[in-house]
Amino acid sequence: MRITPAQVALPVVALVATLLSACSHPAPQEPKPFATLDGSQPLVIAHRGLPGLRPEETRPAYELAADDGADALEEDLHLTKDCVLIARHNPWMSDNTDVVEVAKTNPEVAARKRVVPGVERPAPAGAGPTTYLVDQTDPADPKSVLKSLVVDGEDHVGDWSVSDFTAAELQQWFHGTTYDAKDERPAEYNGKYPILTFQQIIDIAKAKSAATGRKIAVYPETKNPTWNNEQAVANGCGAPGSRPLEDAYLKILDDNGLNSKEAPFFAQSFEPSSLKYLREHGLKTKAVQLVGGDSVDYRAGGVVYDDITNSRPYDWTVAGDARWFSALLTPEGLAEVKTYADGIGPWKPQLVPVKIDPYPSDPAFKPSMDKAAAGAPNSVVADAHKAGLFVHVYTFRNERKYLAGSYRGDPQAEYLQFFRLGVDGVFTDFTNTAVPARAAYLKELDR
């Protein structure tokens, strides 16, 4: 400790008192910096609201997430038969609505089940399947897509499609249900809350922003854009070759005064062509390229890319591009993403490998996340930041089956590893867990 000339001039007793006081009250330490792209604290993104406690993408799920401290309300968007944007995770309805129960007493609903099988189409040459299913069963008739139900190569014939109902019908007849971990999450709210339009979610975000004094963003995904646009054109929402999904998306942005770089809004999609179209047609908000994968490779500690539906952007499949999502995570891929987006939304194992080591030789062994360990992070976050892209990673859940065994059933341990890694945001099904986990991280940084 340096003694100043003024202190030298003090009487000995006063000098000793001054020095003792300084030693017992050290200068406050500077808080440690965040490792995020812009130096801000990471965001908590309410993935479909708060589906850990309420049916996903319903009003209570979003309102509870906002009340618990979410920075953004995330939703998946589809176009209805009458060209309105509504929020549902999947376009087939039995997974996340009470359509099966409704159909038992509503013959009009029962009659709209899609029962025509899809047809095979050659897949892009390269690794993976040689063919994939489509629902344009008559190559000469674009409207034939309304008879089958095949979404991004995945067969859902025998189910109901959101695109066969108007917005009024969807809101009058159907209600949300739990989806992920449905056997572990509250079931007493299933079938109680109507499906929401995108406008209603925007209104919730605005109302909660005003009530809490926090700016709460909306974070909508153009879901299954290629499929949605084929359905919408067949329903008369646009001319052949147009993109009614993105056009409706841009219009609602403009109508709500949200189309600016500073607006509390994030556009997201798994299909690059969807985000590129939005940019080319006037999108000014922040945009996020989502990055998928099929499954976890528990032996090698990586991600498996081998199927049409989850391993490759579906617009790439249709265009004959045989690359996998992994191409977007290379330095070259990140540089391409930067030309039309501001960030990436990867899956957790694409940043932190998960592995079972040693892997049992027993052929009957069934690998699962709770038997694995989270390994050392790879360079994707650093590479993305170097390219000028933020990283919002998905999806954090409390249930033990979603947590690597090395976290010992503690979801906060998982959040902390990713916060320390420098991710810029986390998609979570449990805002009520993510916000306290972030508070613990802030405490680590003396903030």
pLDDT, one tens digit per residue, over 375-402 is: 999 999 999 999 999 999 999 999 999 9
Q: How far apart are CA 194 and CA 192, in angstroms?
A: 7
Residue with tokens 């290379």: 330
Contact, 250 vs 282, CB < 8 A?
Answer: yes
User: Strand runs (DSSP E) across 56-135, as ranges?
Assistant: 72-79, 85-87, 119-122, 131-134
- Give residue 55's pLDDT: 98
Environment class of 199 (CB within 10 Å of its CB; exposed 0-12, middle 13-18, buried 19+): middle
pLDDT, one tens digit per residue, over 138-167 is: 999 999 999 999 999 999 999 999 999 999
Which distant-in-sequence residues (6+ apart) come within 8 Å of 431 by Cβ? 44, 46, 50, 64, 65, 68, 69, 70
The more confident residue out of 26 and 231 is: 231
- Give residue 4's pLDDT: 52
Q: How far apart are CA 18 and CA 398, in angstroms?
A: 52
CA 314 from chain centre, in angstroms, equals 17
pLDDT, one tens digit per residue, over 263-299 is: 999 999 999 999 999 999 999 999 999 999 999 999 9
What confidence category does residue 29 fall into, taking pLDDT thresholds of 50, 70 and 90? confident
Question: Per DSSP, what are the bridge partners of residue 51?
Answer: none
Q: Give the residue among 281, 387, 283 at the shortest CA–CA distance from 328.
A: 387
Contact, 228 vs 81, CB < 8 A?
Answer: no
CA angle 297, 374, 183 (to 5 degrees): 75
The DSSP result for 37-71, as a single string, is SSSPPPEEEETTS-TTTS-TTSHHHHHHHHHTT-S
What are the Cα distances from residue 22, in Å, to 8, 286, 295, 336? 15, 48, 58, 55
Residue with tokens 């009340």: 67
Q: How far apart are the first and last CA of the chain?
A: 26
CA 428 from chain centre, in angstroms, equals 8
Q: Is the pLDDT of residue 15 over 70?
A: no
- Which DSSP helix (H) or strand (E) runs through 372? none
pLDDT above 70 covers what percent of the chain? 94
- Which DSSP helix (H) or strand (E) runs through 364? none
Q: How far apart are CA 306 and CA 27, in angstroms?
A: 57
Q: How many CB atoms lie within 10 A of CB 236?
A: 12
Averaged pLDDT of the chain: 94
User: Strand runs (DSSP E) across 162-292, as ranges?
Assistant: 217-222, 266-269, 286-290
Entry pTM: 0.93
- Give residue 39's pLDDT: 97
Question: Per DSSP, what are the bridge partners of residue 297?
Answer: 302
> How do beta strands 217-222 and 72-79 pair?
parallel
Contact, 344 vs 288, CB < 8 A?
Answer: yes
**Longest Cα–Cα distance in the chain:** 101
Q: Is the pLDDT of residue 245 over 90?
A: yes
117: its two tokens:
């099988």
What are the Cα distances from residue 44, in Å, to 65, 72, 441? 10, 7, 13
- Torsion (CA) 382, 386, 391, 393 in degrees, nearest 10: -30
3-state SS, residue 287: strand
Q: Is the pLDDT of residue 6 over 70?
A: no
Contact, 169 vs 150, CB < 8 A?
Answer: no
60: its two tokens:
């209570």
- Give residue 47's pLDDT: 98
Q: Is the pLDDT of residue 171 over 70?
A: yes
pLDDT, one tens digit per residue, over 395-408 is: 999 999 999 999 99
Q: How far apart are CA 251 and CA 77, in angstroms?
A: 14
- Give residue 427's pLDDT: 99
| 303 phi, psi to nearest 5 deg | -120, 135
